[in-house]
Structure 1
Amino acid sequence: MDDKYFFIEIMLVVSVSGSFLFVFTKIFTNICLKGYEVKYEYFLFRVLVIFFLFPAMALSYVIIKNSVKIYQLQIVSDDFVQMKVSDTKFLLFSDEIKGYILLIFAVWLIGAVLNCGIRILRERVVIKRIMEYSEECKEDSINEVRNNLVWELNVRKEIKIYRNEIIASPFSIGILEPKIILPPMKFNEEDLYFILKHEIIHCKRVDILYRIFMVVIRGLHWYNPVLSYFEKDFFNFSEIACDEAVIKDCDLNVRSQYAELILCMLESEQTNINITGFSNREEKYMKRRITHIMRGKKKIRKGIVVLSTALFIFMCPMVTYASIINISNVKNHLTDGLENMYSVVDGYNNEFIEYEEDLSIETGESKERKNFFLITRGNKNVDVTIAGNGEAQFHEVALNKGASIRVTLSSDSAKDSFRAGIVNLKDGKRRYVESIEGSVAYTFSINEKAEYAVYITGQNGKTGKNLNIIGRIAVTY
């Protein structure tokens, strides 16, 4: 299987399964968790982010790899080099199809670089510029509030506070060495407490790391519109969950004061970078955030948390597996369509001339017979590498009159020459066709009840290069 195609298939599986889980989470929380705290919904979103990046890709890789059972044989001889037989369909990659795959991969890569790499680079440049104009805060009153909050929230990291003259809203940056950047304006003691507590909670929860993960996911899956909504919701719930922690157990007056502070910050221009900012200018989001602050939410019960988390964790691999099955079905339909388009069509056999020859081959058990591979009813995908004049032969299969064996094979190069045929083990007669431009697509009709074996013989000569031949052999009873 082509590595680029394999990678594209994994990305599609992760994208589909992750999108379904996001939609499921939204429906579940809107129905079952409506009126409760947002922090649990934000927790599920964080789990989904981690699933997107690591388990989903690893799980997809393992399942897809295991679904293609490959039996490989390495032999040191003048004729036979190696053979692989797989149990699932894969695309018979002609040069044209490989070109399309390369184009799709290139488009994806360009999109990923533009949506992820450039975005992260741009934000790093902006943050670096901001830090160049920032000075560490030496005000005792601010540092005292910071120290009290670090103790209150049980934060073990050292968090430094900076002042900056070019920003208008507080925000936090850094993962290992978190920093809080304050605008030049003066805050009263209560507002300063709210601002620093909000940003310190972001630092404690490592929200900036998850936001970077989200940017990477959005960049890798830039073609998926569902993830655009996921990214927006993730950032919004990050702020709302932080608000909940800031005003936990506070009365209505304190909530009103906190909401007014957020609206005050909203009036200032905000830097357009991916940081844990104190406010967001989107009207719909701000309305929801202020409403959430003023109304307050019920605390979620532990039983609901445990059951819903268990359900979510259970669904992750199940949804991934279902996505793989459905994408594999689409791939198989595509394989059949391409095969019918390029090879198995009425009259295509007419391009090949069938030859016969009588060769006596050994039909009893022999040491070489262990190198043969069984072909059962149905389709078998084949990946064979043989010497320029070598031969690969499959294990015999008993067929009745009226059955057929269809071979659809292609070598890496149109200049390669090989024969593909069947041998009647009863009388030793071989029937074969010669490749045309490195490909064979031919159906052998069975006219006599006997045991038959499919073989492929290289015609590049003793000094010719090895042939790598892939394709499908279909046995119809």
Structure 2
Amino acid sequence: MIWMIKKIYIYVISMILLNGLVGSISYMCFRKIRQRLEKKGLISMCITVLRGAVLSFLMPIVIVLIYFIYYVYEEDYTMFALSPLVGWVFFVVGIIWTIGFLKAILKTIRIQAQMNQLRKRACVCSRSILDCKNQWKEEVGVCRNVEIKTVYGLAVPIICGFLKPMILLPEREYNKEELKIICIHELIHCKHKDILWKQLCGLVRVIHWWNPLVKQLDMDVDSWNETYCDLESITIMKSKKRYFTTICEIGISPFAKGAYLCAALGEDKSQLKTRILRIKSIENKNTRNVMAGTFLCIGLSFVVVAIIILSTIGYHKIYVETVWATEIEEDLPEEETEYTMDLKEYTAKRIGTNLAVTKLKQNIKKGEELDVVQPLNAKTRLETKELELKKGEKIKLTVFSSQEIQRDDKDFVAGVIDGTGKERYVMHAVDIIHDFYVKKDGKYKVFVENRYKKKIKIGIAICLEK
């Protein structure tokens, strides 16, 4: 049971760490180019790059690449293998992450319950408010059904719910201009799917609760969603001054929308000032600035791709080296038999073993000897299918070669490889006759390597004994 938990944590924690690395660097790159894009009036580019950073926290690109490139394609079973130290480190880190994850989940559930209570307390609006909402719903281009209700005690208008969107208004009197701007603003939030992005940020907060950048990411998503909404609202209103004046008249309130899965209209003075300055920067938007912004975004894309490639290679190397360095095996006495040559068994990791691999088609059955004679191409490694073996079982291996081999020759090698990718092998012999004892339960493969520059013919006899 503990072994299974450790194995699960290896995949989960690896995915979270790698996603956190790629996401954090992507977000820091966004913050690096944000001001340049903002000054050029490229608000839509800013929001696109920021949303890409949010997705990079959630999409397990690196772990999928590692799995398919190294584990599946190259059959490097050292990747994701367990050594005593690696297993316990991931287990402890996994337990700590799980505690933080559960606390974040409970907080999110509590916040969602508060929002549900707010929706239940909502009352039906007057006919004039409903008519205004329906009129601007068509103008904005929202096809979904969006409810609108009033709530006593609410500070500012908000829209909540991704699947069932609902606009909630503070219970007070509104003139036509105020209703018009509120409806346009909140419906555009619905059109832009800002609640979905708010919920994705909530998911990032839950998974990456340990990452100090996540809180700032959430605040930036809120801020830029509002700016993006302002941009389209002003396009419809055709008056920046009237739009922002009305927002100020509705009321600037310290409503903590970051704590809710919703989008709110009111903000504090500094945030509202930032939104006004961003909208004003639209005047700087021209073809030259658009081209410059496009090149910046393309450059950022190359940086992210480079991060993904380096993370894939680096994590694989670090993990495999750590497993090799911390691997502990039990030493079992090897019984000498009359058929076994006095060959030294090596377990050291070899350099430059990337040979072409060919598979032995025949199946090996326990208690039965398999005899095969076949050619083996130059610089090629012959491997059997995986064998499920138990501790104490014996692999009797006999290999003959048509090549004249010197006593110190290292180009003719035979051995076994376990599920972690660790090899035990023998060499320095004209003909190899050797018994490999299984030191722990697991999956094993037998291999023979022809490291010569020409094809040879080999004869193999393999027998599995208890």
What is the TM-score with the length of structure 1 in the denominator? 0.69
Seen in structure 2, the aligned counterparts of structure 1 residues 307 and 426 have a Cα distance that, compared at 3 Å, is same
SS in structure 1 opposite 2:284?
Answer: coil
Pairing 1:131–2:119 present: yes
Structure 1 segment 27-38 matched on structure 2, within 5 A: 27-38=32-43
Distance 1:284 1:26 in 2: 19
Seen in structure 2, the aligned counterparts of structure 1 residues 149 and 428 have a Cα distance that, compared at 3 Å, is closer
AA at the equivalent of 1:13: L
Alignment root-mean-square deviation, CA:
4.7
Q: Which moves more between the two structures, 267-276 or 35-44? A: 267-276
Pairing 1:242–2:247 present: no
Contact 1:425 1:453 in 2 (8 A): no
Contact 1:421 1:456 in 2 (8 A): no
Distance 1:255 1:139 in 2: 24
Pairing 1:20–2:6 present: no
Pairwise CA distance, 1:453: 12
Pairwise CA distance, 1:304: 4.8
Distance 2:419 2:46 in 1: 53
Partner of 2:88: 99
Contact 1:37 1:300 in 2 (8 A): no
Contact 1:421 1:454 in 2 (8 A): no
Seen in structure 2, the aligned counterparts of structure 1 residues 209 and 159 have a Cα distance that, compared at 3 Å, is same
SS in structure 2 opposite 1:430?
Answer: strand
Pairing 1:358–2:338 present: yes
- State the identity %: 17
Pairing 1:226–2:213 present: yes
1:183 corresponds to which of 155, 170, 185: 170
AA at the equivalent of 2:249: L
Of structures 1 and 2, the one scoring higher in RCO (CA 8 A, sep 6+) is: 1
Pairing 1:430–2:434 present: yes
1:290-312 residue CA offsets vs partner (Å, 9 max, x unmatched): 44456765336454565555555
Partner of 2:320: 332
AA at the equivalent of 2:408: K
Contact 1:169 1:279 in 2 (8 A): yes
Partner of 2:107: 119
Distance 1:394 1:259 in 2: 85
Pairwise CA distance, 1:242: 1.2
Structure 1 segment 70-81 matched on structure 2, within 5 A: none
Seen in structure 2, the aligned counterparts of structure 1 residues 400 and 203 have a Cα distance that, compared at 3 Å, is farther
Distance 2:398 2:13 in 1: 32
Seen in structure 2, the aligned counterparts of structure 1 residues 69 and 180 have a Cα distance that, compared at 3 Å, is closer
1:144-171 residue CA offsets vs partner (Å, 9 max, x unmatched): 3212311221221222210111311110
AA at the equivalent of 1:145: C
AA at the equivalent of 1:199: E
Pairing 1:401–2:408 present: yes
SS in structure 2 opposite 1:132?
Answer: helix
Partner of 1:67: 70
1:164 corresponds to which of 138, 151, 168: 151
SS in structure 2 opposite 1:93?
Answer: coil
Contact 1:17 1:320 in 2 (8 A): yes
Partner of 1:464: none
What is the TM-score with the length of structure 2 in the denominator? 0.71
Pairing 1:6–2:11 present: yes
SS in structure 2 opposite 1:68?
Answer: helix
SS in structure 2 opposite 1:328?
Answer: helix
SS in structure 2 opposite 1:162?
Answer: strand
Instruction: Give unpaired runs (5+ residues) of structure 1.
Output: 72-85, 413-419, 440-450, 462-477
Instruction: Give unpaired runs (5+ residues) of structure 2.
Output: 1-5, 342-359, 363-369, 443-456
Contact 2:147 2:167 in 1 (8 A): yes
AA at the equivalent of 1:170: P
Pairing 1:110–2:99 present: yes
AA at the equivalent of 2:275: R
Seen in structure 2, the aligned counterparts of structure 1 residues 431 and 293 have a Cα distance that, compared at 3 Å, is closer
1:443-471 residue CA offsets vs partner (Å, 9 max, x unmatched): xxxxxxxx999999988x4xxxxxxxxxx
Partner of 2:350: none
Distance 1:298 1:371 in 2: 77
Pairwise CA distance, 1:313: 5.0
SS in structure 1 opposite 2:126?
Answer: coil
Contact 2:393 2:464 in 1 (8 A): yes
Structure 1 segment 256-271 matched on structure 2, within 5 A: 256-258=244-246, 260-261=248-249, 264-266=251-253
AA at the equivalent of 2:21: V
Pairing 1:205–2:192 present: yes
1:27-70 residue CA offsets vs partner (Å, 9 max, x unmatched): 223235424142321122223334443xx325641443222356
